[in-house]
Amino acid sequence: MECCKSYNLVNLCRAATTPRSNQGVFFIFKQQQIMEKKQTFNEIIQSETPVLVDFFAEWCGPCKMMSPILKDFASQMGDRVRVIKIDVDKNPAASQTYRIQGVPTLILFQKGKIVWRQSGVVQKKQLEQIVNQLATQAQ
């Protein structure tokens, strides 16, 4: 798939009601972690593992700046967090459901609940602090 060429982006196999299609939905992770079981978006965000969702657009300059940050973040965090990118132009239902008004918008889910949300470019250090703080609160 053309938009999956760069750095270990793997097409999410199947998406449920939000987003409605699998176009423009990607996981960022190490290649050896490719999912064996197909999961819906809702199943993924319901997991115990925090899920960081990047709502982005191909035409968005700040979104392009977030890509390498998210790649490094996902690589460093390993299994502690999942990172998913959702193209708002290809998934308008997801954008409406989560009231995305600007891109990039990052939303961190844990057990299906939104635990953090921010629009704009976010540095890797801040993302690490948020996930670490979430892990500390869970203990």
CA distance 64 to 52: 17
- Show the DSSP H helices in the chain as ranges: 41-45, 61-77, 92-97, 124-138
Clarify whether 13 is annotated catalytic.
no
Phi, psi angle pair for 85, to nearest 5°: -110, 135
Residue from 3, 4, 13, 60 carrying the catalytic annotation? 60
Residue 63 annotated among the catalytic residues of the structure:
yes
Cα pseudo-dihedral 55, 115, 75, 27, rounded to 10: -40
Residue of 3, 4, 13, 63 marked active site? 63
Active site residues: 60, 63
